[in-house]
Structure 1
Amino acid sequence: MSATFLGIDVGTTRTKAVLLASDGSVVLATAAAPTPQGDSGGVAVHSPRAIREVAVDTARRALAEAGSEARAALGGIAVTSVGEEAVLLDAASRPVGDVPTWFSGVGHGPARELAAELDRHAPVTGLRHPEYTVHTLAWWARTRPAQAQTAVTMTDLGSWLLSSLGPGDLVMDHSHASRTGLFDAPTRSWRPEGLNVVGMGGLTLPRLVPSGTVVGELGTEAAAEFGLAPGVPLVTGGHDHFCGALAAGARSPGDLFISAGTSEAHLLVTDSLDPGATADSEVGCFVTDGLYYLHAALPSGALYLTWTRLLGLDPAAPLDALLGEEPVGSRGVRGHISADRRLSLTGVPVDADPATLLRALMEATAVSSRELTRHLSRTAGRAVVQRLLAGRPAQSPAWREIRGAIGEGAAAFVDAQEATALGAAHLAVRGVTGTLPAPLPRRHLDPDLPPARRQEYARAFG
């Protein structure tokens, strides 16, 4: 049997494992489990050791499902994880404590307080989002000083997990480093002066490597945990959204990946970053070395959950059943999503029903997505060549029609339930063989939108 490759994804809510045939065309096995989450003094945290236990068990189950032949042929392991969660390590490479989750909000206060000083002492291309690691480090120095003083280095959650599997270097890949607020993407270099600003000046930053780099091999003890022979190459993954984009086929400048979930991530791939033009944008290195990304998000899924409940609808019900036969344009009801994540509706008649308002929300998020896409395109100086849309809403024909008709660039829809883990497996293949597997199959708007229907959208939304 030809070599197989394992991708592990430590996600916010679930940890997944995918075993892939070397040509990338066949998924041999998958497994998943809830990602363990705890609470520390009212702060949502991930325990590195608990994460490792679940990740190893999930990977072991996927390998067992694939069978002994596929397990014996394993040629590489890569790990992807949530982007901004850094593990602080002591001199013996042990985690000094639990990791605040990216959504815990602990860095928002320091972000407001220290932004100007960080920009003076350690400027980077693009803005520093409040969830970036550098702001969490400030929280750590202030509220967990004993742990902070014990720490000598750090890395991202996925790279730490990879390093725990065997002998090899402690590293951080460029895509994860891009989410720290301490890394300058165009020069691919650290800005360690920022550590002094946030009270963590004694910390050493890890060696930087591109995603898809072999950095070690599976050790004897970890191999026994997996039921494998030692020596399997360990390969750096990347930020989870970006690995998902890679698997979906966002691989060239002008490719836009939209992952529709609670937060609808928009990621535009580009081949250059202009520090002047991108000063107010989230930018960084993509998981394909030599390429960059611009990133922004809409609260479309969160608004959907809020409004379905307000309207007395079941948010788990199929979207097409909820929308019924509502016409294009929602009978004149229009929605607008503001910069502070608020939805306003205008033109609402006194006899409006829930289906009308829900369709207005769907159309409003599509228009907002189009405007956000145009903003990313102008900022990057790069036209959108194709839109790749993934996520649970893409299962709905009505959602696909709305997004296919309202947006920049040709739309294609990707069934990518485990795309992040699959993207990690793709990086494992590339790291070991030098070849990137083909992306997931995609489908264009189906059925083809009749010209008259498309004109209805054009009249209503431009």
Structure 2
Amino acid sequence: MTTFLGIDVGTTRTKAVLLEPDGGTVLAAATAPTPQGEDGGTAVHSPTAIREVAVGVARRALADAGPGPRAGVGGIAVTSVGEEAVMLDAAGRPVGDVPTWFSGVGHAPAREHASELDRRAPVTGLRHPEYTVHVLAWWARSRPVAARAAATLTDLGSWLLSSLGPGDLVMDHSHASRTGLFDAPTRSWRPEALDVVGMGHLALPRLVPSGTVVGELGNAPAAALGVAPGIPLVTGGHDHFCGALAAGARSPGDLFVSAGTSEAHLLVTDSLDPAATAGSEVGCFVTDGLYYLHAALPSGSLYLTWTGLLGLDPSAALDDLIGGEPVGSRGVRGRISPDRRLTLDGVPLDVTPATLLRALMETTAVASREVTRDLSRAAGRAVAQRLLAGRPAESATWREIRAAIGEGAAAFVDAQESTALGAAHLAVRAVTGRLPPPALRRPGPELSPERRQEYVRALG
């Protein structure tokens, strides 16, 4: 039996899945919290601590699968959060911990350097404040000793992959698309941007497509995992994009919505018009020859914040927390501003937590619909199918709201750890030359015409 291992370093959890090459059979999975620390008030990830956890969850998944599947591993791929670059010295060692993508350290430099970056190193699409190039400016100013010691950088997943055995230090195109140093249509670096942010001494890594064999598992990591050395090491990609691949977003017009801490919206397209996409986050998808337009909503963050404010258990079943609240949330309406602030209107003095949570679910659904419309206009392409994944999809109420509010027919992805599964799919393709079929999905709930009209009257 040949099997394939996918590892995902996510914002809150690190996951591993072991997959049969048919793509539909997950033999084992394991998860653990992604370790997070703080450095001078900045939320950070420690590369070495994350490596320890990632190896641990992979070892558990392999052990749970049993000796046969463990002995048959034919490829390992790693995916990770997108904008967190590991700074490395000339010997390939991290020079410090990595500010998390949500730390906000790049927002001020983004405002300061925007015009100069566009003048000296223009790229197609928008440079988001969380992109790596802006975080590099923070390194240069706030951590100058470490910044001077750095010789190169790569994304967290690619660094982890390189630590598992002999091979090249690379960055895949989808992660490079989140740096602000990369032009997607030409698939090339714009290194001039490094001079703008005070890091002109850095060398940028070799660029490769997602799903490229770049090395083989070394002896010590193999012993730690309980497998044989020499297994091909395969580049993954940005975690949301790997999740989209596993879900079946593989053709132009496919929209993937990943509901997690950040609710990613990803529209797949086969071309990028620089004029039409100037205000959009764009880049290379994890399938060769395709691109994406991306936007995100702070849906999961808002949910965690508001359950905390209301004294509720965020891990409780959403349907139990919302109860029988009606469509329209008793007149409570919300909106999410571009700077990620939630405003609620029409809140009565006797409002209940259930009403507020229902209003939050409806608000994020309406915001998702508007984000989708913006992406569709920028891409010049209608949504062919809308695929939704994530823990909220376990809720019947959430599924109904999203089925009723959104562009195109909704389908909900039943995938165990879809981001790690997408990495495993890339490993399969790299070794066998074919991409496994997507994960199983189910259609949205059947809504009567009367029920749909309730949503239209309340929420447009």
- TM interval, short-chain normalised: over 0.9
For residues 356 and 34 of structure 2, the distance between their equivalents in structure 1, rounded to whole angstroms, comes to 35
1:318-359 deviation line (CA, Å, top 9, x unaligned): 222333333322333332222233333334455544433432
1:452 is aligned to 450
1:96 is aligned to 95
For residues 330 and 157 of structure 1, the distance between their equivalents in structure 2, rounded to whole angstroms, comes to 41
1:192-244 deviation line (CA, Å, top 9, x unaligned): 00011111111111110000011111122322222222211110000111111
2:326 is aligned to 327
- Say if 1:316 and 1:198 are closer, same or farther in 2 by CA, change over 3 A: same
- Say if 1:184 and 1:224 are closer, same or farther in 2 by CA, change over 3 A: same
Q: Is contact 2:415–2:440 with CA below 8 Å preserved after alignment? A: no
1:209 is aligned to 208
CA drift of 1:48 comes to: 1.7
1:154 is aligned to 153
1:8-407 to 2 correspondences below 5 Å: 8-349=7-348, 351-407=350-406
Q: Is contact 2:24–2:440 with CA below 8 Å preserved after alignment? A: no
1:461 is aligned to 459
Q: Is contact 1:391–1:417 with CA below 8 Å preserved after alignment? A: no
The answer for unaligned runs of 5 or more in structure 2 is: none
For residues 244 and 63 of structure 2, the distance between their equivalents in structure 1, rounded to whole angstroms, comes to 28
CA drift of 1:419 comes to: 0.9
For residues 402 and 451 of structure 1, the distance between their equivalents in structure 2, rounded to whole angstroms, comes to 14
- Say if 1:27 and 1:115 are closer, same or farther in 2 by CA, change over 3 A: same
Q: Structure 2: which amino acid aligns with 1:60?
A: R
CA drift of 1:368 comes to: 1.4
CA drift of 1:313 comes to: 4.3
For residues 353 and 149 of structure 1, the distance between their equivalents in structure 2, rounded to whole angstroms, comes to 54
Q: Structure 1: which amino acid aligns with 2:389?
A: A
For residues 43 and 310 of structure 1, the distance between their equivalents in structure 2, rounded to whole angstroms, comes to 23
Q: Structure 1: which amino acid aligns with 2:265?
A: H
Count of residues paired in the alignment: 460
Q: Structure 1: which amino acid aligns with 2:106?
A: G
1:253-294 deviation line (CA, Å, top 9, x unaligned): 111111112322111111111111111111111111111111
Q: Is contact 1:14–1:35 with CA below 8 Å preserved after alignment? A: yes
- Say if 1:350 and 1:145 are closer, same or farther in 2 by CA, change over 3 A: closer
Bigger mean CA offset, 134-143 vs 357-366: 357-366
Bigger mean CA offset, 340-349 vs 389-398: 340-349
- Say if 1:363 and 1:42 are closer, same or farther in 2 by CA, change over 3 A: closer
Q: Structure 2: which amino acid aligns with 1:53?
A: E
Q: Structure 2: which amino acid aligns with 1:37?
A: Q
CA drift of 1:405 comes to: 0.8
- Say if 1:29 and 1:309 are closer, same or farther in 2 by CA, change over 3 A: closer
CA drift of 1:312 comes to: 5.0
Bigger mean CA offset, 382-391 vs 31-40: 31-40
1:46-69 deviation line (CA, Å, top 9, x unaligned): 222222222122212211111221
- Say if 1:188 and 1:461 are closer, same or farther in 2 by CA, change over 3 A: same
For residues 242 and 313 of structure 1, the distance between their equivalents in structure 2, rounded to whole angstroms, comes to 32
For residues 111 and 10 of structure 1, the distance between their equivalents in structure 2, rounded to whole angstroms, comes to 26
For residues 226 and 314 of structure 1, the distance between their equivalents in structure 2, rounded to whole angstroms, comes to 36
Give secondary structure in 2 for the equivalent of 1:123.
coil
Q: Structure 2: which amino acid aligns with 1:449?
A: L
Bigger mean CA offset, 24-33 vs 204-213: 24-33
CA drift of 1:362 comes to: 2.0
CA drift of 1:417 comes to: 4.4
Bigger mean CA offset, 302-311 vs 188-197: 302-311
For residues 120 and 154 of structure 1, the distance between their equivalents in structure 2, rounded to whole angstroms, comes to 24
Q: Is contact 1:254–1:386 with CA below 8 Å preserved after alignment? A: yes
- Say if 1:127 and 1:323 are closer, same or farther in 2 by CA, change over 3 A: same
CA drift of 1:182 comes to: 0.1
Q: Is contact 1:45–1:99 with CA below 8 Å preserved after alignment? A: yes
The answer for unaligned runs of 5 or more in structure 1 is: none
Return the TM-score normalized by structure 2. 0.96
Bigger mean CA offset, 152-161 vs 45-54: 45-54
For residues 147 and 159 of structure 1, the distance between their equivalents in structure 2, rounded to whole angstroms, comes to 20
- Say if 1:349 and 1:95 are closer, same or farther in 2 by CA, change over 3 A: closer
Q: Structure 1: which amino acid aligns with 2:187?
A: R
Give secondary structure in 2 for the equivalent of 1:125.
coil
- Say if 1:140 and 1:310 are closer, same or farther in 2 by CA, change over 3 A: closer
- Say if 1:118 and 1:445 are closer, same or farther in 2 by CA, change over 3 A: same
CA drift of 1:311 comes to: 4.5
- Say if 1:355 and 1:90 are closer, same or farther in 2 by CA, change over 3 A: closer
Return the TM-score normalized by structure 1. 0.95
Q: Structure 2: which amino acid aligns with 1:229?
A: A
Give secondary structure in 2 for the equivalent of 1:158.
helix
For residues 39 and 266 of structure 2, the distance between their equivalents in structure 1, rounded to whole angstroms, comes to 32
